[in-house]
Amino acid sequence: MKRRNYTCGLDAAVDVMGGKWKALILWALQDGPLRFAEVRREVPGISERMLILSLRELGSAGLVHREDYREVPPKVEYSLTGFGRSLLAAMVPLGEWGEQNMAELEGLPRT
């Protein structure tokens, strides 16, 4: 979430879930709460830094809830909020489109 004045709903939606990681994190959380390290395993290639930054953005957008169990050793769980679930539902067709066309997209020449 970076901007404020959106020209349309699509603009706003892409702003909130765009970028390299956020959609994948939402996707990873769809089957229930995950701990920090678990999310990391579900999103291959992400660094701790990008994970925490992305989780915080998703949190302040109201899409993800952070539950700190205040234990030692630390235990923190991340889960989708209702708002996050509604966004995830809206992303499903996009995911299916990508699934069906991945081969084509991966075969493109580099720009």
Tokens of 110: 């580099």
DSSP string, 46-67: --HHHHHHHHHHHHHTTSEEEE
Select from 43, 46, 58, 64 the one that contacts DNA (CB under 7 A).
Answer: 46
Min separation Cβ 78 and its own copies, Å: 17
- Pick 49 or 99: Cβ nearer DNA: 49
Q: What is the C-alpha separation between 56 and 65, in angstroms, rounded? A: 9
By CB under 7 A, tell whether 61 contacts DNA.
no
The DSSP element (H or E) to which 35 belongs, if any, is: strand 34-35
Binding site for its own copies (CB under 8 A): 1-2, 4-19, 23-24, 27, 43-45, 56-57, 60-62, 83, 86-87, 89-102, 104-106, 108-109, 111
